[in-house]
Amino acid sequence: MRRESSEETKDTDTLKFSFGVNLGPMKKTHLAGILVAITMITIGLTIFILLQTPPADNQTQLLYTYEVIHIYPHDPTAFTEGLIFQDGMLYEGTGLYGESRLQKTTLETGNITQSYAMGVGYFGEGITIIENRIIQLTWLENTGFVYDRDTFQLLSNFSFPGEGWGITTDGQKLIMSNGSATLTFLDPHTFQAIGTIDVRNASVPVPLLNELEYINGDIYANVYGQKQIAIINIQTGQVEGWVDLNGLTDPSDSDPNNVLNGIAYDPNEDRLFITGKRWTQLFEIDLISTQ
């Protein structure tokens, strides 16, 4: 994936600088005029410099567009909430009550090779894999599920407060979104919160953070309802870059519910995959810097 202070005025007609140079007779009115002129010039120069210098928040922010490298088939019934690529296979968590499931598919064909249906009372959300376990969130049910990666056997479940949206991992901790501008870090064994970060674009909070993917030290977050991905510094929560995916379309996204939502990364071959809810296609893309 390429990425690319002034002294008090005295009542005299003679002014001397502190280093002893006599300026000779000078009327106070003339002096005042000169001081005003100097002040105006200084202000003008300051404004000019500020206009020529980008704000500090924008100096390191990167902007990307994309190039489609390959298009793969995608299950058009999958209301995609979470997406992972590992060991040559795609793992996908889907949503909607009565339709939520966990499934594994072949990248090249889109064929489903393994599937686990959640109960009808659960709306499935994001997924991630850590230590050979798949973690899957639910939206409003305050419940997460833990599966064996290879067999999809349900191992356990856990509770969390608030809504569940997206989840990813840096290999040490889980990173979870809840639809706000705050990401929560979870212990991968106890599933207890161990920290949070507030995500901001400069000083502005970025809400509706949804599907997450940890890529090369940063968090890539889909912003729900937009064809944009925020690249987030995991230490500070600052948005370091934006990926503009406008123009990436699928035949099914004419339905307003079928929004872009699915980010997966192949670290072995440096490949980035993007799809959406009930999209018929999955896109492998390269990021192209616009700067």
What span, in angstroms and rounded, lies between the C-alpha atoms of 256 and 225? 9
The DSSP-derived string for 201-266 is: ETTEE---EEEEEEETTEEEEEETTSSEEEEEETTT-BEEEEEE-TT---GGGGSTT--EEEEEEE
CATH fold of 59-289 reads Neuraminidase (2.120.10)
Query: Domain spans of the chain?
Result: 14-53, 59-289
Residue 38's pLDDT is 52
Residue 58's pLDDT is 44
pTM recorded for the entire structure: 0.80
Residue 253's pLDDT is 83
Residue 15's pLDDT is 34
Residue 254's pLDDT is 87
Q: How many CA atoms lie within 13 A of 211 on its CB side?
A: 32
Burial (CB < 10 A; 0-12, 13-18, 19+), residue 233, is middle
Task: Show the low-confidence residues of the chain (pLDDT under 50).
Answer: 5-37, 39-59
DSSP letter, residue 161 = S
259: Cβ contacts below 8 Å, ≥ 6 apart: 224, 225, 253, 276, 277
Q: Where are the beta strands (DSSP E) in 108-238?
A: 112-117, 124-130, 133-138, 143-148, 154-159, 167-169, 174-177, 182-186, 193-198, 200-201, 204-205, 209-215, 218-223, 228-233
